[in-house]
Structure 1
Amino acid sequence: MADAQTIVITADQAGGRLDAVLSQADLTYSRSALANLIKAGCVLVNGQTVKRSYVVKEADEIVITPPETKETALEAENIPLDIVYEDDDLLVVNKPQGMVVHPAPGHPGGTLVNALLYHAPLSTINGEFRPGIVHRIDRDTSGLLMVAKNDAAHQALAAELKAHKTQRIYYALVRGNFTENEGTIDAPLGRHPKDRQKQAVIAGGREAVTHFKVVERFQGYTLLELALETGRTHQIRVHLAYIGHPVIGDNVYGHQDKILNIKLPGQLLHAKTLVLTQPQTQETLRFDSELPAIFQQVLTGLRVEDSKFDNQ
């Protein structure tokens, strides 16, 4: 079991919600993970269980005691994996488009987690259904993910991610042309007010920052390099749709699933580069991946179309 953590509320923190104050503290848990711990009674304030909406007071003593971990009930499945790197603490996997990261309603098996369990032991911090998963990408987004093989590595990788020290670089093909060569989208995100399955830019949402650079321009389309400063759900897809440049193939946020008469299995968004610190050696590790075949096929087609236009 992970060691209990104790926090004493300062005057500056007093008056805030318990879950919000804890999420801003130097902990290795996400706000959603903290909410689950509070609900499970693993967070005590002055020795008492409280709701996550509890308003903290100066000198409140908060003790966080993670529950005993247990062996996962998930089934390990012999599913091929594209493992880019592996050591005793972590592995980096290149997830294919169409694969769900972890089991969820409607996706009980066939996920990346099921495949990982067959391959190696995983950390237990995220509980029964997300062992090893430090961060995730959408089902129809491809690319690099880091996975923790033990709890100590998980805590270190999660802390680095929370401190915005992990570099995650994506490539996306988007609709429309850019006059600028680079820029930043700084717009808060939250659940869509009318469609609970979607995210949206909303006032009072969680901070979300995406940096972009133009890699290549086409007639009516642009290939972008994107760097995440935060990692909100659907962040890149929502931010690009918000500025009028939805990701190609993303029919949830504003683009059809066809381009150049090519039927797309999902959005043309790929987690291309990942830079992290090895938890034990503190060595900086950098990984890069090729764009998926369908992504490259579309880019080749656009270049052919542009060459026809240039020769007219």
Structure 2
Amino acid sequence: MRAAVLHTHGQPPSHADHPDPVSSDGYSVVRVTAAPVVPLDLLCASGTSYFGQPAVPYVPGVQGVGVVEQSEVVPPGTRVFFATSAGMAAGDGSFAERCAVPDVDLVVLDTPVPDTEVAALGLSGVAAWMALTWRAQFKPGEQVLVLGGGGAVGQVAIGAARLLGADGVVAVCRSDAARDRALAAGADEVVASGPDVDALTARLRDATDGAVDVVIDPVFGLPATAASRVLAPYGRLVNLGGSSGDEAVFSSSVLRSRTASILGYTNNAITPEQRRDALTAVLQHAANGAVAVTHETVSLADIATAWHRQSTGSTDGRLVVTI
């Protein structure tokens, strides 16, 4: 079969022939139709992640959409979303014509949302939904601040907050294009990020009237530091990424005086059932046009270029590989 095969850590995968997956007990074989290129793919392939260095060669791709070809639990022809542990454990991922998937990681799709849009939402949608509803324990009437509002997680978090009854949603973005995506997702106001933490804090105070109940943070670093300063009493900051840096600075007096919480989130800590239920909820709203992620499609043959674009931020939304 044709696949994107990684031979060297830190380098893009190449479009090449690769052995077909072999069906085995507890696994289904899926014919892949669409798979997004996400930061986790690049992190795992770099060989520098906390999962350790994956054995090479392997096929990256931690999620995808497709049609079941062989399975003992799902009828062949069933349309599914699936997650993989490619780059985090032994085995190949979704950037291939076929993928062997643990049966527990299949989510049967019953939605009119196209495969490419399902792939664009995917685990980013799951993370945004779960960070807001499960980790932050969001309540209707609260005000939400979304860092990285133009990214995939940010766009879903903005839409979800609106759907769940947020009193207001403010986003932080780095570029005009990201600002446009955040506004299209439903943000009431977008604050420009920047290198001065005090200036960003001041802008956030103005935009949020000085206090915000929930922060959804896929970026960390300086924006998280600024956001922590405007947490309301009992406010919660949920971190689920570090694209702006692996460290942020928090004030003990601010956290203690407001009984505020700094919380971590990862999709790896939820159950397959939670993943299924969260994705199903997101797709229900996507079918109604209430949640979306800006994306573009690229062919499997162009995987190296897509990989480079993702690594340099040269994209206007999520890149989805069609196969």
More helix by share: 2
Q: Which has the larger radius of gyration?
A: 1
- Structure 1 length-normalised TM: 0.26
- Structure 2 length-normalised TM: 0.26
* Structure having greater relative contact order (Cα 8 Å, sep ≥ 6): 2
